[in-house]
Amino acid sequence: MTAESMTPYEAIVSKRDLRMYTAEPIADESMARILQAGRMAGSAKNVEANRLIVITDQAVQDALVKAGDFASWIGSSATIIGFASPASELRLFDVGRQAQNMMIAAHDEGIGTCPVTLGHADVTRAAVGLPNDWVMPMVITLGYPVEDHPDSPLKRQRVSLDELVRHDRWS
């Protein structure tokens, strides 16, 4: 863990999606903790159908760029982790739980991340060699953040709790 490990709450509220990374590979010890955090996420009915594909090969990363409509930058990450599942067992909530666990664990390690939806299943399947009955609807990118990472052009204030939360009923 980082020298000054964050509390879970601090990690959650301070994590930001980053899309620019250094070329430094992810340390093996950090990657092991990140993958373990994903493994420990809950799974609907304990099915645990998802499999993780750790992608560091540049040719595979470049092929995945074409699998998403907003993924032109993903090949510049040190590592991409894909969430693969048999199409008949896909539970997007489970994918999200795994991804969030891993992104928070990475943040605590000083590693930047960003989730990316892959909308072109055939391109994704070909890029990573998935069987025809498997899908990989999303990936997360990982890398050590560049020091002068610019703010996102989409940066904005979060919706206030008063606007976000309703109690008992909508109105």
Domain residue limits, the chain: 8-146
- CATH number given to 8-146: 3.40.109.10
Q: Mean pLDDT over all residues of the chain?
A: 91
Determine the Cα–Cα distance for residues 88 and 69; give it in Å rounded to an integer: 24
Instruction: Give the model confidence (pLDDT) of 51-110 as tens digits.
Output: 999 999 999 999 999 999 989 889 999 999 999 999 999 999 999 999 999 999 999 999
Asked whether residue 123 carries a pLDDT value surpassing 70, the answer given is yes
Determine the Cα–Cα distance for residues 71 and 63; give it in Å rounded to an integer: 11
Instruction: Give the model confidence (pLDDT) of 146-160 as tens digits.
Output: 987 666 666 667 788
Between 5 and 101, name the one with better pLDDT.
101
